[in-house]
Chain A
Amino acid sequence: DSGVTQTPKHLITATGQRVTLRCSPRSGDLSVYWYQQSLDQGLQFLIQYYNGEERAKGNILERFSAQQFPDLHSELNLSSLELGDSALYFCASSVGGGTANEQFFGPGTRLTVL
């Protein structure tokens, strides 16, 4: 158990819908990361937040947005869902935001878009 929690574990929805994925980092960690794991794209970095501020952006679609709240939990919002958005979405956290900081991964949220 990494100490990072993600809810829900599974999510099944229809195309065009909007969903919210939630992540609680390990106690004391200030940085949160979101990754997408899909069969065709592999594991891809989406976005990083550090202490409430966006720190780095990766291959995140405009239909996706994220935020980190004052209590440091984070939410990833996916809208206008398409079949290709079906994937495993991981949240990770680290103490600091720099590159030497180990990232601890949550168990993931499996999103299925029908």
Chain B
Amino acid sequence: AQSVTQLDSQVPVFEEAPVELRCNYSSSVSVYLFWYVQYPNQGLQLLLKYLSGSTLVKGINGFEAEFNKSQTSFHLRKPSVHISDTAEYFCAVTMSGGYNKLIFGAGTRLAVHP
């Protein structure tokens, strides 16, 4: 079975500062990895995904993530955050070649302060 651990429940950061949201996963088989964002009172929106190939994945809104198989991590980064990035961020995993059910982490609340 797969599981996802998001190491920080909350991350406060000042506007224009860099940020890293950490995600580790556990799986005995190959996985696909995803980061979703949830703005207040909205559904989830896909930021980026890793299926195969280059381990550095670029997504929307200036976010990127790096897949590290040896450390079973998929950390999300942004070099300079904006107030509008304030939201809940979810890391998710699904088993490659299996059923398309996303297993989510508990989420990280990113709070960007002026």
- Interface assignment of B56: CB less than 8 Å from any CB of chain A: no
Interface magnitude class on chain A = 20 to 34
What range describes how many residues of B lie at the interface? 20 to 34
Of the stretches B12-20, B62-70, B90-98, the one at the interface is B90-98
**Do residues B101 and A42 form an inter-chain contact, with CB atoms below 8 A?**
no
Q: B107 and A99: CB pair below 8 A?
A: no
A2-B43 in contact given A42-B106, A100-B51 (Cβ < 8 Å): yes
CB closest chain-A residue, reference B43: A105
Residue of A nearest to B104 (CB): A43
B103 to A, closest residue via Cβ: A45
- Closest chain-A Cβ to B45's Cβ sits at a distance in Å of 7
Asked if A98 is an interface residue, CB under 8 A from chain B, the answer is: yes
* A53 at interface, CB cutoff 8 A: no
Q: A90's closest neighbor in chain B, by CB?
A: B43
Q: Which residues of A are at the interface with B, using a C-beta cutoff of 8 A?
A: 2, 4, 31, 33, 35, 42-45, 48, 55-56, 58, 90, 92, 94, 97-108
- Give 12 A-B contacts (CB < 8 Å), ordered by A residue: A33-B102, A35-B102, A42-B106, A43-B90, A45-B101, A56-B101, A99-B94, A99-B96, A99-B99, A102-B49, A105-B43, A107-B43
